[in-house]
């Protein structure tokens, strides 16, 4: 069949292909939970925390109900609240700043680097100054490892150290990626991730985890996870939440983690093929030296003057889905536009919001299908 004429739909993320590869292993893991009936805090939860610790290199892993809860639990455990400022990139998924606002603290939005999509340290310094000028107490920085690529943690850590702030890495899109040879979560920075199904390591529902090397802090997180419970179950010693990961999701994740390394390799092959096929017609993602990516998204920038909607429609007509992450940066959204931003504004975030578009990306994207996508992108741009 002539590939040029194909219009059958290509999946944006092929969870079904992964399901076929996993075969009966996940069904059997879930059946074991259905047989033992410990749906909350069953043995699979502790087992998952141990295998995640081994995978990441973190000393302590505290699983939880979502990536948003992971962020919120850390901020609650650290006592972040009213009068505090937490620095976040504006070009991110809303949960990053939302978790801050939910504590009563003020998210202060800073700009990102256009090449890596991750926090721009110059803007970060300006954001800290802006927070102080407003009478807020800067408490923390939440870098995001956007689209799967690690942020520049040394540069961010240096600023945090100099300013007396703690760092909470939002690795919701990047679990499995590394920074200077070490996996995210494995070098002492408190790290939160999400196991939402579309994430590089996803479960079959909502889930998340927190990684830390501090055993005492992990205990506080475990207390926050269950309503602030103390050693006496009915004497709650702090405010907390219902933040537990279901045992069934833990069982699913244990099976998925077994193929995750291999999937990361496959995702990188897909990214390399895109870079080779598209690098001379669009701006393809740039990997900073020392950072690897798990390619949660493959996000390109269209040449100036390209109509993004028409481009997306041209691909759609050929069965190729695209997505825009994010058409509005956080500081441009209704719920967040009154929060402060770094002096000088956030021009890079705004430019990215107007010209990025993401292409299908997953570990099961086979070469002929990817060739079809590449041809469609090139065709749409030359039309």
What's the closest the beta carbon of residue 277 comes to ligand PLP, in angstroms?
26
Q: What tokens appear for 243 in the block?
A: 């933040």
Q: Are strands 137-141 and 166-170 parallel, antiparallel or unpaired?
A: parallel
The binder of ligand PLP chosen from 42, 67, 97, 243 (CB under 6 A): 67
- Of 143 and 240, CB closest to ligand PLP: 143
The binder of ligand PLP chosen from 66, 191, 223, 322 (CB under 6 A): 66
- Of 92 and 322, CB closest to ligand PLP: 92
What's the closest the beta carbon of residue 53 comes to ligand PLP, in angstroms?
20
The binder of ligand PLP chosen from 120, 206, 246, 263 (CB under 6 A): 206
**From 65-73, 176-184, 278-286, 370-378, span contacting ligand PLP (CB under 6 A):** 65-73
The binder of ligand PLP chosen from 18, 60, 63, 68 (CB under 6 A): 68
What's the closest the beta carbon of residue 200 comes to ligand PLP, in angstroms?
11
Phi/psi of residue 5, each to 5°? -95, -5
Three-state SS string over the chain comes to: CCHHHCCCCCCCCCHHHHHHHHCCHHHHHHHHHHHHCCCECCHHHHHHHHHHHHHHCCCEEEEECCHHHHHHHHHHHCCCCCCEEEEEECCCCCHHHHHHHHCCCEEEEECECCCCCCECHHHHHHHHHHHHHCCCEEEEECCECHHHECCCHHHHHHHHHHHCCEEEEECCCCCCCEECCEECCCCCCEEEEECCCCCCCCCCCCCEEEEECCHHHHHHHHHHHECCECCCCCCECCCCCECCCEHHHHHHHHHHHCCHHHHHHHHHHHHHHHHHHHCCCCECCCCCCCECECCCCEEEECCCCCCHHHHHHHHHCCCCCCECCCCCCHHHCCCCCCCCECCCCCHHHHHHHHHEEEECCCCCCCHHHHHHHHHHHHHHHHC
**From 88-96, 119-127, 232-240, 287-295, span contacting ligand PLP (CB under 6 A):** 88-96
What's the closest the beta carbon of residue 67 comes to ligand PLP, in angstroms?
2
Indicate whether 95 belongs to the interface with ligand PLP (CB under 6 A): yes
What's the closest the beta carbon of residue 23 comes to ligand PLP, in angstroms?
26
The binder of ligand PLP chosen from 44, 169, 170, 255 (CB under 6 A): 170
**From 25-33, 62-70, 287-295, 297-305, span contacting ligand PLP (CB under 6 A):** 62-70
Q: Is 226 exposed, middle or buried (0-12, 13-18, 19+ CB in 10 A)?
A: middle
The binder of ligand PLP chosen from 18, 92, 220, 329 (CB under 6 A): 92
The binder of ligand PLP chosen from 33, 80, 131, 144 (CB under 6 A): 144
- Of 98 and 381, CB closest to ligand PLP: 98
d(CA 205, CA 182): 28
The binder of ligand PLP chosen from 117, 166, 187, 196 (CB under 6 A): 196
What's the closest the beta carbon of residue 89 comes to ligand PLP, in angstroms?
9
- Of 3 and 242, CB closest to ligand PLP: 242
- Of 95 and 315, CB closest to ligand PLP: 95
The binder of ligand PLP chosen from 18, 63, 90, 96 (CB under 6 A): 96
Give the binding site for ligand PLP (CB under 6 A).
66-68, 92-93, 95-96, 144, 170, 172-173, 194, 196, 206, 208
């Amino acid at each position: 069949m002539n590939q040029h004429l194909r219009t059958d739909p290509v999946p944006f993320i092929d969870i079904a292909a992964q399901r076929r590869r996993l075969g009966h292993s996940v069904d059997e893991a879930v059946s074991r939970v259905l047989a033992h009936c410990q749906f909350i805090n069953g043995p699979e939860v502790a087992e998952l925390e141990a295998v995640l610790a081994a995978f990441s290199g973190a000393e302590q892993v505290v699983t939880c109900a979502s990536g948003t809860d992971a962020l919120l639990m850390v901020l609650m455990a650290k006592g972040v609240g009213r009068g505090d400022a937490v620095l976040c990139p504006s070009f991110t998924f809303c949960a990053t700043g939302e978790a801050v606002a939910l504590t009563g603290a003020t998210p202060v939005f800073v700009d990102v680097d256009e090449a890596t999509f991750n926090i721009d340290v110059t803007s970060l310094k300006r954001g800290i100054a802006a927070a102080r000028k407003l009478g807020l107490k800067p408490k923390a920085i939440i870098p995001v490892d956007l689209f799967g690529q690690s942020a520049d943690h040394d540069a961010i850590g240096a600023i945090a150290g100099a300013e007396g702030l703690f760092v909470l890495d939002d690795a919701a899109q990047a679990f499995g990626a590394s920074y200077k040879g070490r996996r995210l979560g494995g070098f002492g920075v408190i790290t939160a991730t999400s196991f939402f199904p579309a994430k590089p390591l996803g479960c079959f529902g909502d889930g998340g985890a927190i990684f830390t090397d501090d055993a005492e802090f992990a205990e506080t997180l475990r207390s926050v996870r269950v309503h602030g419970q103390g050693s006496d179950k009915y004497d709650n010693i702090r405010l907390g939440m219902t933040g537990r990961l279901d045992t069934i999701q833990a069982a699913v994740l244990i099976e998925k983690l077994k193929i995750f390394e291999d999937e990361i390799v496959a995702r990188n092959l897909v990214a390399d093929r895109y870079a080779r096929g598209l690098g001379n017609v669009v701006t393809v993602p740039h990997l900073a030296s020392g950072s690897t990516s798990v390619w949660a998204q493959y996000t390109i920038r269209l040449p100036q003057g390209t109509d993004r909607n028409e481009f997306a429609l041209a691909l759609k007509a050929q069965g190729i889905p695209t997505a825009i992450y994010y058409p509005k940066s956080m500081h441009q959204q209704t719920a967040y536009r009154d929060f402060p931003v770094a002096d000088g504004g956030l021009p890079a975030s705004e430019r990215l919001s107007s010209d990025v578009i993401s292409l299908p990306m997953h570990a099961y994207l086979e070469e002929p299908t990817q060739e079809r996508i590449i041809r469609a992108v090139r065709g749409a741009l030359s039309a």
